[in-house]
Chain A
Amino acid sequence: MSASDRGLSVALRRTLGLALLLAFWEWGARAGVIDPFYAPAPSTVAGTLFALFQGGTLYPHIAATFSAALLGLGAGLLIGGLLGFTAALIRPLADLLEPFMMLLNAVPRVILAPLFVIWFGIDLGSKVALSLVLVAVLVFFAVYNGIRDVDRRLVERVLTLGGGRLAVLREVYLPSVTAWVMGSLRVAVGFAFTGAVVGEFVASSRGLGYLLSFAQSTYNAAQTLALILIVMAFVLLLFWLGGWLERRLLRWRHP
C-alpha cells in the first residue's frame, strides 16, 4: 500500500465516521429518540441552511461578519507585528509594553466587548476593535518571542559573510519571525472570528452573531445550528488558506 493509498483510506474512514454520526442523528430525530426541539435532524438543518441562502437576506450578514473579522485580523497582524518587532529591538519600549500586554494576555479579552460598544458604537467599529485586540496580543507575543529567539549564530554568519544590518534583518530576523507568526496564524483566524461574532452578540443590527442571538432568543435550534455551520465553513476555508500559505512559506521546514 502506497502512502497516498493510506492517506485516501484515512480520509475515507474519517468521512465514514462523520456519515455514521449524521445517519444516527437523523434516525434518532425521526424515531423520536432525540428531541428535535433541541437537536433537529440534519435534514431539517440542511433545509434551514438552504432557505437562509435562498432568501438572499443572509448575504449582508455574512458580509458584515466577514469584513469585521478580516479587518480585525489584518489590523491585528499589522499592529501586533509592528509592536512586537519594535519592542523586541528597543529594550525600553519592551519594558513599557510588556506589563500591559501581559495583562491583556492574561484576561479573557472578550470582556472588553461592552466597552468597545460604548466607545465605537454598535456598527462595524466595535467588532473590528474586539477582533483586533484578540489578534494583536497573540501576534505581539509571537513576533516578540520570534525575535528574541533568533539564532545568534545565524546573525554572526551573515555579519562575517559581509552582510550589514539590513541583511541581518532580511536574511535572519524576518524568516525567523515568519515561522513564529505562521505557527499562530490559525489561532489568529479563530480569534478574529470570535471577536467579530462575540461583538455582534453584545450589540449589533446585523452579522452572523446578530442572527445567532436572534435565533437563540426564539429557541430556533435548527437556525442556530445552520448559522454555526456557516461560521465553521468560513473558518475552515481560512484555515485551509493559511495552511497553504504556511506550506509555501515554510517549505524549508518540511521539504
Chain B
Amino acid sequence: MSARLQVLPQPEPAPRAPEALGERLLAVRGLTLRYGRNPPAVEEVEFAVAAGELVSLVGPSGCGKSTILRAIAGLHRPERGTVELGVARRALGFLFQDDALLPWRTARDNVALGLRFAGMSRREARAEAEAWLARLGLAGLGGRYPAQLSGGQRKRVALAQVLALRPRLLLMDEPFAALDAIVRQQVTQELLRWVEREGIAVVLVTHDLEEAIALADRVLLLGQGPRARIQARHPVDIPRPRDLVAVRGHPAFAPLYRRLWRDLSRAMGREETP
C-alpha cells in the first residue's frame, strides 16, 4: 500500500534549519491527499513543526488545508507520503471548525470525556473538567447542556475539552471562524496566552491572513487546488508573548501582510495588490 501512517516514538534527531527550530513534533513528507476518484487536492506537501512552534497554513478556500490537518490526525488516509509524529497520539489535540459537542452530555462531562478515555476516574475527571471550565471563564456552567450555551461558550467548552488533555501539539481548523468579531478576539487571545505559556506547538489552518500572521512563528502559503502545493514560507519576526491588538501595529506586520497578499493573489492566478 502506498499510503502510510506511522507514529514514531522518538522525535527525529538533528533537525535542519530553517525548517525546524529545535525538537520536531511533526514532520509531513511528500503528502498527497485526495477524495475518491478526484484529482489530488494537495500534492507533495512538506513541512515540519518544532516543539512550541506556531505554524499557520493559509490558502484559498477549498485548497485542501483542512484535509492536511485531518491526515495529520489520522482521520484521512494519505494517497502518498507520510506523517511522522514526535509525540504520542494522545498528546495531539484537534480543535475543529464547528463546535459540535456531544449534545447529550453536560459541558462538564464533555470536557471530562477525553480525561475518562485516558483512564481517569469519573470523579477526578469531573473535578478536572470543572477546573478547566473555570480557567476559560465558564465557572458554574458545568451542569449545562450544549443547547443551553451560546456559540462562544460552546467554543470555550470545546477548547477546554482539548486543552484538558494537555496536548503538546494542537491542530486547529479555523476554530473561531463562526464567532462574532469581539468574542473571537477574546477567545483567540485566551488561547494564545495559554499556548505561549505552556509551549504548545500549533498548526493553524485559516484563510484570515491577519490571524495567520498575528499568531504564528511561520506562515505557509498553500496554492490553489487541485494539486495544491506549498507556494511560500514566511517567518514572522515578532517577539512573544503577543497581544492580538498590539501585534497589528508591529513594524514587521504590514510588510509581511502585503507580501502574503501578493503571494496569495499570485497563487490564485491574479496579479493584484490591495
Contacts and interface: CB of A to CB of B under 8 A. Distances in A.
A121 interface: no
B75 A156 contact: yes
B103 A252 contact: yes
A56 interface: no
A159 B89 CA distance: 11
Contact of B145 (A151, A161, A167, A255): A255
- Size category, B interface: 20 to 34
B117 A161 contact: yes
A171 B75 contact: no
Contacts of B10: none
A107 B96 CA distance: 45
A175 B75 contact: no
Interface in B94-134: 94, 96, 98, 100-105, 113-114, 117-118
Interface of A: 151, 153-154, 156-164, 167, 171-172, 175, 250-253, 255
Given A161-B114, A162-B165, A252-B104, 5 more contacts: A160-B75, A162-B89, A175-B102, A175-B104, A252-B105
A167 B101 CA distance: 15
Contacts of B103: 252-253
B198 to A, nearest CB: 18
A248 to B, nearest CB: 12
B93 to A, nearest CB: 8
Given A156-B75, A163-B117, A171 B102 contact: yes
Interface string B67-101: 00000011100000000000001101110101011
Contacts, number: 58
Nearest to A156: B75
Contacts of B102: 154, 157-158, 171-172, 175
A164 B246 CA distance: 43
B258 interface: no
22 contacts: A153-B100, A154-B100, A157-B100, A157-B102, A158-B102, A159-B75, A160-B92, A160-B93, A161-B114, A161-B162, A162-B89, A162-B90, A163-B113, A163-B114, A163-B117, A164-B117, A171-B105, A172-B102, A175-B104, A252-B104, A252-B147, A253-B147
Contacts of B32: none
Contact of B96 (A153, A163, A255): A153
B161 interface: yes
Most A-side CB within 10 Å, residue of B96, B103, B104, B148:
B104
Nearest to A254: B147
A151 B114 contact: no
Nearest to A164: B117
B100 A171 contact: no
